[in-house]
């Protein structure tokens, strides 16, 4: 049967493969996330990548960009409306309530690493499939110490990536009592300006006025500069909470910038909202004009899912973005490349014994490279060269009969025949 070949080999728009040669960056990020999680006692949780769409629609809010424009939603064959998760928090709270995790010691500190999906216009640092490492402190009460602990964990993580010139932007977006007061002030301010605003902002005025502060459109910037400040409208409880968070940060000597325009756009947030940026500049002079991490408090989310607990705070780091900064600012991963040994066989008798011999070497702690499927010496040497091997172990007809092997230093060509029973020691002796 003849089949037509697949012509289009492109991965879907905004979705990328992570190739073997890029994995060292990802390993580094995962390793540091594990380190910080362990250090601050966060337990790992993995939730499904698909959720019922309603989980996000009801919690993030119907009028948010993510739900309105960016979520990948589809109907399964059995008719369920499913969504590829656009973020981690809603799924984690769903899981927390579903599995009764509120019965465990509170607050529960959880972390996750995994892919998220948003149908955005791809550009630098913005993809349709991207990865987040996120941290959540759920349950307990709404003590500002948890907000500070969460921010601290993310700050320390970014520090471990050796990203310099970090800046923490922070704001409070109040609660159900004080936010409507601010919303009204904001709308009063914008009312006469409406005709001059971009289309999105005119829509935001009707649906989600706080998002006016989020607008990146050039024509709206001049009006944003003198908007009323939400901090002036906070009720006394929110004010006290925010002061508490800032005091903890000051005690930690963690500097911050109050950012009156930081609202983080999702319905489930209340009080603290924060984002981390870097002022580092890439080697080619470009600046990174995106947030590396962001998060906030989400007390109403727990209530929405019917939890007995009523407080939560969390944040997520964008893995592609931190990797981009690390690569473009030439951060040294400090990896020591380990020395490589390449096994070469010559002739059928030697080949027959090779697989088990290599197994013995590996069992003895020598990670051996090989290309056993190739029989010609020249081809095997070429493979050793491609792998940039330091030593070759050459096992030929004569050696197979004599139970010996040649250890050849590929950098200087010096070689020595050694008995097989001594080869492990001989190789280890040569490793620096
Ligand atoms: P958010 O909650 O949307 O602020 O996301 C938290 C972090 O995830 C951001 O600070 C980014 O580092 C990262 N992030 C969000 N959206 C994207 C995207 N489309 N592509 C790459 N990274 C993203």
Q: pLDDT (tens digit, 9 = 90+) per residue, 156-203?
A: 999 999 999 999 999 999 999 999 999 999 999 998 888 888 988 888
Same domain, 29 and 154: yes
- Looking at every residue in the chain, the average pLDDT score rounds to 94
In a domain, 187, yes or no: no
For the chain, the domain total comes to 2
Question: Residue 1 pLDDT > 70, yes or no?
Answer: no
Residue with CA nearest ligand 1 atom 16: 126
pLDDT value for 2: 64
Q: What is the average pLDDT across 122-140?
A: 95
Q: Is the CB of 139 under 6 A from ligand 1?
A: no
Q: Are residues 132 and 274 in the same domain?
A: yes
Assigned domain for 221 exists: no
Q: What does the buried/exposed string (b/e) look like for 306-323 if buried means 16 or more CB atoms within 10 Å of the residue's CB?
A: ebebebbbbbbbbbbbbb
For residue 239, tell me if it sits in a domain. yes
**Percentage of residues of the chain with pLDDT beyond 70:** 100
131 lines ligand 1 (CB under 6 A): no
Q: Same structural domain for residues 370 and 250?
A: no
Contact 256, 242 (CB under 8 A): no
Q: Kindly state if the Cβ of 132 falls inside 6 Å of ligand 1.
A: yes
Q: Which residue among 305, 328, 351 closes a domain?
A: 328
Residue 110: its pLDDT value, please?
98
Do residues 252 and 311 both lie within one domain?
Answer: yes
Question: What average pLDDT does the segment 67-93 reach?
Answer: 96
> How far apart (Å, rounded) are the C-alpha atoms in residues 404 and 58?
70
Residue 355 shares a structural domain with residue 307? no
| 74 occurs within a structural domain | yes
Rounded CA gap, 299 and 301, in Å? 6
List pLDDT tens digits, range 323-371: 999 999 988 888 777 889 999 999 999 999 999 999 999 999 999 999 9
Q: What is the pLDDT of residue 194?
A: 87
139 and 285 share a domain?
yes
Atom number, ligand 1, closest to the C-alpha of residue 293: 10
Backbone angles phi, psi at 422, to 5 degrees: -105, 0
pLDDT tens by residue, 262-274: 999 888 999 999 9
Q: In what order do the strands lie in the sheet with 43-44?
A: 43-44, 108-117, 129-138, 312-318, 293-297, 270-278, 166-172, 257-258
- 9 domain residue, yes or no: no
Question: Does 118 contact ligand 1 (Cβ within 6 A)?
Answer: yes
Residue 172 and residue 35 share a domain: yes
- Domain contains 190: no
> Are residues 276 and 413 both part of a single domain?
no
178 C-alpha to center of ligand 1: Å? 28
**Radius of gyration for the chain, computed over Cα atoms and rounded to the nearest angstrom:** 28
Q: Which of 328, 363, 381 is the last residue of a domain?
A: 328
On whether both 263 and 314 belong to a single domain, the answer is yes
389-414: pLDDT as tens digits: 999 999 999 999 999 999 999 999 99
User: Does residue 316 have its Cβ closer than 6 Å to ligand 1?
Assistant: yes
Domain boundary among 328, 353, 372: 328
> Is residue 357 domain-shared with residue 290, that is, in the same domain?
no
295: CATH: 3.30.930.10
Give the mutation target among 61, 132, 277, 292 for probing the ligand 1 site: most ligand atoms within 8 A of CB: 132
pLDDT of 261 above 80: yes
Question: Would 415 be classed as within a structural domain?
Answer: yes
Residue 105 pLDDT: 80
pLDDT digits (tens, 9 = 90+) for 198-213: 988 888 888 889 989 9
**How many whole angstroms from 67 Cα to the centroid of ligand 1?**
15
> Does some domain include residue 293?
yes
Same domain, 59 and 128: yes
The boundaries of the domain holding residue 281 are 20-178+234-328
- Regarding whether 352 and 317 lie in a shared domain, the answer is no
Indicate which CATH number applies to the domain containing 392: 3.40.50.800
């Amino acid at each position: 049967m003849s089949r037509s070949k697949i012509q289009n080999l492109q991965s879907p728009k905004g979705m990328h493969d992570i190739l073997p040669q890029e994995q060292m960056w990802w390993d580094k990020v995962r390793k540091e996330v594990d380190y910080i999680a362990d250090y601050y006692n966060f337990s790992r949780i993995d939730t499904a990548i698909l959720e019922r769409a309603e989980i996000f629609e009801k919690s993030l809010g119907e009028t948010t960009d993510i739900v309105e424009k960016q979520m990948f939603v589809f109907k399964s064959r059995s008719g369920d409306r499913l969504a590829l998760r656009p973020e981690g928090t809603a799924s984690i709270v769903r899981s927390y309530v579903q599995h009764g995790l509120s019965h465990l010691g509170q607050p529960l500190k959880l972390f996750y690493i995994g892919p998220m999906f948003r149908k955005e216009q791809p550009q630098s640092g913005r993809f349709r499939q991207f990865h987040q490492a996120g941290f959540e402190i759920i349950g307990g009460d709404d003590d500002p110490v948890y907000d500070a602990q969460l921010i601290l964990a993310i700050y320390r993580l970014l520090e471990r990536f050796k990203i310099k010139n970090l800046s923490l932007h922070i704001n409070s977006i109040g609660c159900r009592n004080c936010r409507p007061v601010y919303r009204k002030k904001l709308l009063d301010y914008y009312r006469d300006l409406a005709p001059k605003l971009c289309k999105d902002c005119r829509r935001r005025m009707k649906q989600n006025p706080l998002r006016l502060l989020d607008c990146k459109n050039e024509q709206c910037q001049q009006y944003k500069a003198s908007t009323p400040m939400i901090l002036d409208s906070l009720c006394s409880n929110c004010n006290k909470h925010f002061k508490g968070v800032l005091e903890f940060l000051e005690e930690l000597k963690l500097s911050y910038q109050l950012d009156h325009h930081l609202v983080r756009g999702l319905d489930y947030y209340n009080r603290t909202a924060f984002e981390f940026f870097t002022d580092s500049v890439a080697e080619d002079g470009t600046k990174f004009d995106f947030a590396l991490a962001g998060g906030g408090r989400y007390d109403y989310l727990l209530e929405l899912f019917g939890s007995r607990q009523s407080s939560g705070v969390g944040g997520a780091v964008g893995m592609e973005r931190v990797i981009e900064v690390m690569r473009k600012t030439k951060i040294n991963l400090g990896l020591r490349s380990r020395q490589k040994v390449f096994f070469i066989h010559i002739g059928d008798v030697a080949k027959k014994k090779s697989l088990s011999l290599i197994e013995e070497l590996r069992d003895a702690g020598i990670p051996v490279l090989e290309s056993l499927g190739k029989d010609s010496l020249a081809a095997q040497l070429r493979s050793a060269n491609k792998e940039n091997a330091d030593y070759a172990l050459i096992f030929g007809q004569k050696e197979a009969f004599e139970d010996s092997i040649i250890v050849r230093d590929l950098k200087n060509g010096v070689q020595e025949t050694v008995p097989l029973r001594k080869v492990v020691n001989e190789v280890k002796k040569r490793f620096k």
